[in-house]
Structure 1
Amino acid sequence: MGLRHDSSPRVRPEGHSAAGTIPEAAGATTGAPAGPARPAGAQPGEGGPSRRARFAATARGAAPSSAVAAAGGLAMAASFPPYDLWPLSVLAVALFSLMLRGRTVRQGAWLGFAFGFPFFLWLLVWLRSVTWIAVVVLSGVEALYLVAMAALMVLAQRLRWAPLWAACLWIAQELVRDRLPFGGFSWGRLAFANTGSPFTPLAALGGAPLLSFAVALSGTLLAACALSGYGVWQRRTRTPRAALPAAGALVLSAAVLCAGLFVPVPTGADAHVRIAVVQGNVQQPGLHFLGRPMKILDNHVQATLKLAADIRAGRAPKPDIVLWPENSSDLDPFSNPAAYDKITQAVQAVGVPVLVGALVDGPDKDHVQNEGIVWDPVTGPGAHYTKQHPVPFGEYVPFRKELTKVVSQLNEIPRDFYPGTRTGVLQIGPARLGDVICFEVAYDGIVRDTVNAGARAIVVQTNNATYGRTGQPEQQLAMSRLRAIEHGRAVVTAATSGISAIVAPNGKIEQHSAEFTQQVLDADIPLRDEKTVADRVGAVPEWTLAMVGLLSCAAAVAIGRRDRTGMAKGQ
């Protein structure tokens, strides 16, 4: 695999950039004009421009390119649900790559922020239900990952086959962002904007990372096509040979786009199970959705009792199991006898096991556990799953003693959630299902481990009441679609207030509820044992692509130093 770093001086036509592609006057290769020259021997403030004047000149010069980068970030956000304009994810990557062409590392870093901050600001606007401060702060933090990625992409673009290295760096950025700090935050991955695009079946081969890589590579190749085509036009060359690089990049970009169409997505199953999903609804939307104590539990109990009545009357088929959502019991049934009795009443009325979502006290007085509990109509509560990945600043407060003194809103989280230590594979009636709670569906490893541990279908218990009608439930449902294809499993989302849904193993949403309604979904879902290639290879594609991207930057730096040393010796 050949790498080329071209740092030798060339004679260029007047008005052309060092990259030999886009005129500097167009603002595509320089961040800002240098400003008026300082007279020889002048010191700052002595005949030369002041620091403030130089900063203003730099800001004016950078404004057009910053505005274009911000527009690209907003286009990227529009590619995600609830808008679902997935082609914009490819175009946004292409535009971002074009903006970085010929930049310095510092200029690239700034454009990374100019692109990333508006992107996350719009993508995460649903956090306004908590506070607008959370939207701004989290957007700024997440944008820093794109700052680092953009700086590294500037280095990688100096090498031959730059689109490949740039796409690998996109995966490196997602890998780190998904893990650090505090277990990471996965929102905004390219894969989550492409859960219904031609790229999507690639998830069955390499999971979400391979899907993200394909989107990024298609975009960076599209940028290479535009650069080559512009170079041909700029030189007024009409020879077929001159047009080959542009045509080749365009063909490769289209090939990557269509590659997923040739990936089979198996959906056959030897067994099925009849399920009912109870969406009981909440007393009120927003941050304080709980309302009066036991209100949410009452809603789910009453909806289940109505289902039981419909079954007896022949108006509804009897399911094998019933699924309740996360926080369907707003009180710990093990410390509150009234809550325990209400759940038991509902379970016995429907006559089949029910997966109940509840907050359970423990393991000490300072902690609570977010659990899915299998409640049998005869034996009562049995096996359970405890959420492994509590949300920082949502379900627990890092550095609580220090931060609560500064941010008083954090006191609204009185106790930290205690993390579970095992997968959510549970035997519920005749089915061996994998329980995943809320935001855990965004993390590759948690879902993959659950499937590899024997889950034949996946249940996502979630509570989106805080973020209802903000776009967040649609974003989370898109993740369920991706997981269905990635693992070849039916995915059932059970939400307190919506969106509850039945997703087939091919990613098709077969049923879904409306938000803030009381509703029961019933379906016959397949139980599958076959594992996908993505299940078998695990995180290997992600780490491999990320390491290739980082090594390309190391190679660019090493080649640059070698060339500079050689030039110095030649002088």
Structure 2
Amino acid sequence: MTKVDTAPEAGTAPTRQDRPVIRPLWASILAAALAGLALLTSFPPYGQWWLAPAGVALLALAVHGRRMRAGAGLGFIAGLLMFAPMISWTNIHVGNVPWLLLSVLEAGYLALMGAAYAYAAPLADRRRWLTPLLIGTLWVAQEALRSRTPFGGFPWGKLAFGQGEVPLLRWAVLGGAPLVTFMVAVTGGLVATAALTVLRRAGDAVPSKRFLAPVAWVAGAVVAALAGALVPVARPAGDPVTVAFVQGNVPRLGFDFNAQRLAVLDNHVRGTLDLAARVAAGQEKRPDLVVWPENASDVDPLNSQVAAAQISRAADAIGSPILVGGVTDGSTPRNVRNIGVLWWPDRGADLDQLYVKRHPVPFAEYIPLRSIARMVSKEVDRVSRDFEPGDRPGVVDSGATVIGDVICFEIAYDGLVRDVVTGGAQILAVQTNNATFNTAEAEQQLAMVQLRAVEHGRDTLMASTVGVSAFVGADGHVHDRTVFNTAAVVVRDLTESTATTVATRLAYWPELVLTVIGLGLLAGAATIRLRRP
């Protein structure tokens, strides 16, 4: 079976740009499958960032010239092969059904994008220079929709989250994750345009002319990929602040990690006491702030005298405030809250410096449509009390510095991180608990921390119960990364910043503008289709 890319309009002679590109359906399916695998491999734990533009190009080549339903199917194939392995950590302890449903849902957004590109391909054929722009803006629009729907969205797998410490990441300082995604997709779009040009010029009589334009498109892709190196990253210029994180580890991985809740708390207390002993011996600098991870105290630190006494013991020993991750009662007996609270030596919890997680994870920290969800998987009953969301950003004043606190998956959401920076945060802290997942999930989350550090020009840290924990500079470089499932305590000097980057000031505008451009190109394609006989 074959598919003809384009046909000239009635009454016109075929032009080079209208010359049909004939390829069998199996070739498009193969290209879509390779696209999904390339996109997957660009993310941690593989970290082959250069495969992201290659995956974008392969998917564009697979879809170009196909009907909308074929474009949707090809996009779905790529999406499923990308997302199913990427988020396989979601099935470690809850079974395959939730993992497969989430994978199918996420792949559906790539199917929608594939249909949109197939619909808009006639515009790209007539105006070849629009092809990379079309591809770039459709990727941004797809990620914008996927990050918001349903139940607040699931931004995992944004192209921007796989760029590590490479030049493309630097675009984040100008336009955040949307601009990084756009530049990655444009790079792939330029490669796809080169390939389409080669296919259409295969019959040219003059070989030198046959490949001149494709070489130019490839050169453009190289420039797009490397131009980010010219974008200056923000350099914090404030006062130094010494920060420690404690990765206490847990008795056992999995959902039952907190069956011995006091043991988890004891691990973090012990790590802090060991640090205090090293400080007293002159082996370590006394930190201005100690950060414990999410769920470091699943014994309610605000209502349990035992937990409060343990935390106070650690704070008194180190002589510095501790940002404690804990779980406490909610506003009703049916609810709980995921919190970060500042704990002072001598005086305990500071309820004025308490952050409640604003974006609980659906089907993990709260169960929407519980009765229906139970029919899919009885694992939903593990969440017996729903987490209720907070109503203000996590801006915590420790005296020595102002911390922007985000908890776990919140690091994936553009607005939640931006809110703490505009609220006055001078450094960023990500409290997370990876005890129910694996190393791959932790490394994917750390890549998001790298992007946020560059985007907002803030020195940042990620503290996990089991790892991976690390410090990340405002330039995106990772320091003092820990080993997964191992106890660790690390101290490092960070530099405060009160400046705001272009990305912070522009907020959601880059994403909005790029999405509107993509919709405008779709409207242009509709005009062409309506004018065809």
Does the Cα contact within 8 Å between 1:5 and 1:559 map onto a contact in 2? Answer: no
Question: Which one of the candidate residues 44, 54, 68 is aligned to 1:81?
Answer: 44
* Residue 444 (1) aligns with residue 407 (2): no
Report the equivalent of 2:509.
Answer: 540
Alignment of 1:267-278 (within 5 A): 267-278=235-246
Report the equivalent of 2:170.
Answer: 201
239 and 424 in structure 1: CA distance in 2 versus 1, 3 angstrom threshold:
same
In structure 1, distance between residues paired with 2:145 and 2:206: 44
What is the CA deviation profile of residues 206-242 of structure 1, one whole-angstrom value per residue up to 9, with x for unaligned ones? 00000000000110111111111232233343253x5
Report the equivalent of 1:111.
Answer: 74
What is the CA deviation profile of residues 7-56 of structure 1, one whole-angstrom value per residue up to 9, with x for unaligned ones? 4466669xx9x9525333xx1xxx4xxxxxxxxxxxxxxxxxxxxxxxxx
- What is the DSSP-based 3-state SS (H/G/I as helix, E as strand, rest coil) of the residue aligned with 2:259? coil
Q: Compute the displacement of 1:452 (Å).
A: 1.0
Report the equivalent of 1:309.
Answer: 277
Does the Cα contact within 8 Å between 1:19 and 1:101 map onto a contact in 2? Answer: no
Question: Which one of the candidate residues 395, 398, 404 is aligned to 2:374?
Answer: 404
In structure 1, distance between residues paired with 2:75 and 2:341: 44
* Residue 489 (1) aligns with residue 440 (2): no
Amino acid at match of 1:144: G
Alignment of 1:202-351 (within 5 A): 202-240=171-209, 242-351=210-319
Moved more, 291-300 or 356-365: 291-300
What is the CA deviation profile of residues 231-279 of structure 1, one whole-angstrom value per residue up to 9, with x for unaligned ones? 2233343253x54432332232222112211100121412010111111
What is the CA deviation profile of residues 100-141 of structure 1, one whole-angstrom value per residue up to 9, with x for unaligned ones? 121111111110111111110111111121322222111101
Q: Compute the displacement of 1:285 (Å).
A: 1.4
In structure 2, distance between residues paired with 1:368 and 1:5: 61
79 and 220 in structure 1: CA distance in 2 versus 1, 3 angstrom threshold:
same
- What is the DSSP-based 3-state SS (H/G/I as helix, E as strand, rest coil) of the residue aligned with 1:294? helix
Does the Cα contact within 8 Å between 2:432 and 2:465 map onto a contact in 1? Answer: yes
In structure 2, distance between residues paired with 1:334 and 1:198: 45
- What is the DSSP-based 3-state SS (H/G/I as helix, E as strand, rest coil) of the residue aligned with 1:293? helix
- What is the DSSP-based 3-state SS (H/G/I as helix, E as strand, rest coil) of the residue aligned with 1:158? helix
Report the equivalent of 2:121.
Answer: 157
Amino acid at match of 1:84: G
Report the equivalent of 1:141.
Answer: 105
Q: Compute the displacement of 1:64 (Å).
A: 4.5
TM-score, normalized by length of structure 2? 0.94
In structure 1, distance between residues paired with 2:303 and 2:497: 37
In structure 1, distance between residues paired with 2:236 and 2:404: 19
Does the Cα contact within 8 Å between 2:302 and 2:349 map onto a contact in 1? Answer: no
- What is the DSSP-based 3-state SS (H/G/I as helix, E as strand, rest coil) of the residue aligned with 1:290? helix
Aligned length in residues: 520
420 and 492 in structure 1: CA distance in 2 versus 1, 3 angstrom threshold:
same
Moved more, 411-420 or 98-107: 98-107
- What is the DSSP-based 3-state SS (H/G/I as helix, E as strand, rest coil) of the residue aligned with 2:74? helix
In structure 2, distance between residues paired with 1:427 and 1:229: 59
Report the equivalent of 2:363.
Answer: 393
- What is the DSSP-based 3-state SS (H/G/I as helix, E as strand, rest coil) of the residue aligned with 1:364? coil
314 and 147 in structure 1: CA distance in 2 versus 1, 3 angstrom threshold:
same
- What is the DSSP-based 3-state SS (H/G/I as helix, E as strand, rest coil) of the residue aligned with 1:426? strand
Structure 1: segments with no counterpart, 5+ residues: 32-62, 565-571
In structure 1, distance between residues paired with 2:18 and 2:304: 70
Report the equivalent of 2:322.
Answer: 354
What is the CA deviation profile of residues 395-418 of structure 1, one whole-angstrom value per residue up to 9, with x for unaligned ones? 000011332244211000001110
Report the equivalent of 2:340.
Answer: 372
Amino acid at match of 2:279: I
- What is the DSSP-based 3-state SS (H/G/I as helix, E as strand, rest coil) of the residue aligned with 2:532? helix
Amino acid at match of 1:344: S
Does the Cα contact within 8 Å between 2:467 and 2:486 map onto a contact in 1? Answer: yes
Question: Which one of the candidate residues 539, 542, 561 is aligned to 2:530?
Answer: 561
In structure 1, distance between residues paired with 2:254 and 2:18: 51
Q: Compute the displacement of 1:197 (Å).
A: 1.9
Largest Rg, 1 or 2 = 1
106 and 405 in structure 1: CA distance in 2 versus 1, 3 angstrom threshold:
closer
In structure 1, distance between residues paired with 2:495 and 2:207: 57
Report the equivalent of 1:42.
Answer: none
In structure 2, distance between residues paired with 1:65 and 1:99: 4
In structure 2, distance between residues paired with 1:432 and 1:83: 35
- What is the DSSP-based 3-state SS (H/G/I as helix, E as strand, rest coil) of the residue aligned with 2:260? coil
Moved more, 175-184 or 245-254: 245-254
What is the CA deviation profile of residues 171-227 of structure 1, one whole-angstrom value per residue up to 9, with x for unaligned ones? 100000000000100111100111222211100000000000000011011111111
Amino acid at match of 1:560: R
Report the equivalent of 2:156.
Answer: 187
In structure 2, distance between residues paired with 1:510 and 1:320: 19
- What is the DSSP-based 3-state SS (H/G/I as helix, E as strand, rest coil) of the residue aligned with 2:225? helix
144 and 405 in structure 1: CA distance in 2 versus 1, 3 angstrom threshold:
closer
Does the Cα contact within 8 Å between 1:458 and 1:492 map onto a contact in 2? Answer: yes
Does the Cα contact within 8 Å between 1:108 and 1:150 map onto a contact in 2? Answer: yes
Q: Compute the displacement of 1:467 (Å).
A: 0.9
Does the Cα contact within 8 Å between 1:344 and 1:380 map onto a contact in 2? Answer: yes
Cα RMSD (Å) of the superposition? 1.9
Does the Cα contact within 8 Å between 2:236 and 2:457 map onto a contact in 1? Answer: no
Q: Compute the displacement of 1:321 (Å).
A: 1.0
- What is the DSSP-based 3-state SS (H/G/I as helix, E as strand, rest coil) of the residue aligned with 1:356? strand
In structure 1, distance between residues paired with 2:195 and 2:169: 25
